[in-house]
Amino acid sequence: MTPRIVEILYQMIAFLFAISVHESAHAWTASRCGDPTARMLGRVSLNPIRHIDPIGTIVLPLVAAISGIPLLGWAKPTPVDPRNFRHPMMDDILTSVAGPVSNFIVATGALLLLGGISLSSASGHTLVMGLVAGGDGAASDWALAPVAVLLFELMFINIVLAVFNLIPVPPLDGSHVLRHFLPEPVRMVYDRIGIFALLALVYLGGGLLSSLLRPFVHFYLSILVKF
């Protein structure tokens, strides 16, 4: 396989794991807050098959990976019935932010493992610094090179997924926080126009997305280079 195909494969593996963690976190938190809907449907699972949306999980990420644009996509939405929550507003917020928080946890775990690889040997340090500098690591003959590349993709994609979902545009997770603080008439309009704002953000807001992602990516990379 060519280095580009290997890179796409790593990105898809990392993406499938990231969305599985994200949706499982929603389902687990909802269950803890009193709504068993997602848990009863088997959504508290890291099996990506339970979370796959044909367009958002397969087609769009593949197109993004092949075309070289940032890998974005979505999973099948986790079903939640807020009527089952013990504390409707707070539990809805907790369930919503659980997904992005779980992605930051995975990104941090990948960061620490990459740091361990960097500290393990001179070759490991060179490999990790090469990834930070923009290399793909595919040409490295070091035994842990594939693991390091996968961890780097895992870190990056989980950061992207977490930040993107925290944007307060319906139906993204961040909107579930903001909408509870809006007056009812405004909230109704907010919910209705959300999908159009989301499409505009994805297709026209590339510069905005980059501006939102850049500080988080730089923060993680700034820690990684210190190992």
Catalytic residues: 23
Query: Could you tell me the CA-to-CA distances from 133 to 110, 152, 222 in Å, in that order?
Result: 17, 12, 12
Q: Give the angle 43-44-49 at the CA atoms, nearest 5°.
A: 50
Question: Which are the contacts of 16, defined by CB distance < 8 A and separation ≥ 6?
Answer: 48, 57
